Structure 1
């Protein structure tokens, strides 16, 4: 953790390679200073079929799940930085967004904790 999952229309990958997008989102996240670089996970889920406002138009939405404990200001700054980077990579995409959800530390478990 943290996990950054990028949902997007598959069409956007015609202008940027998937690996480039993953690296750029990773770098912005790392540069935020909020996470240990080795813990950051970034994945992409491109969709062939989708609807945005009732029409088939390109989109990007990043869903971030992070451990609780960061301030609202820190999370807002991270969201803005990621959206800004994605807008630089995809100036033609008019629907770019991100939201951050907190993991509850008390209920989180991974294999290293067992």
Structure 2
């Protein structure tokens, strides 16, 4: 915990996955909500098959989902979402003539059923 998954549409050809992961981890690790930087696990998924609305031509998306153990305040969640969004705003390509939608979602994981070990 936390787990960050960033999905992006494959039509964002120059999406800088490695740079985004580096920068988003750095932004999250400076949050007081993150007690151990080694707990932040981030990854990207290029989505090749997608639809956006009824007229998907010239549309793309980036969606980040941060999964955290439950118990954080709404203010803390908002701060984490904004940290992620800032990195995505900075690095997401904006191809001419394409509408790109950006979204960030914070999800609670149940503490009682979460298992984590360091091997």
Above 0.5 in TM-score? yes
CA gap of 1:13–1:22, structure 2 versus 1, over 3 A, is: farther
- Cα deviation, residue 10, structure 1: 2.1
Which of 104, 108, 118 pairs up with 1:102? Answer: 108
- 2:12 aligned counterpart, secondary structure: helix
Which of 78, 81, 90 pairs up with 1:76? Answer: 78
Correspondence list, 1:1-114, <5 A: 1-16=1-16, 18-35=17-34, 36-54=36-54, 55-56=56-57, 57-90=59-92, 92=94, 94-112=100-118
- Cα deviation, residue 9, structure 1: 1.0
CA distance in 1, matches of 2:53, 2:31: 32
CA distance in 2, matches of 1:2, 1:41: 6
More helix by share: 1
CA distance in 2, matches of 1:28, 1:11: 26
- 2:100 aligned counterpart, secondary structure: coil
- Deviation larger for 87-96 or 52-61: 87-96
- 2:60 aligned counterpart, secondary structure: coil
CA RMSD of aligned residues (A): 1.7
Q: Could you tell me which runs of 5 or more consecutive residues in structure 1 were left unpaired when the two chains were aligned.
A: none
Q: Could you tell me which runs of 5 or more consecutive residues in structure 2 were left unpaired when the two chains were aligned.
A: none
CA displacement, residues 43-75 of structure 1 (integer Å, 9 cap, x when unaligned):
111111212223141110011110112111110
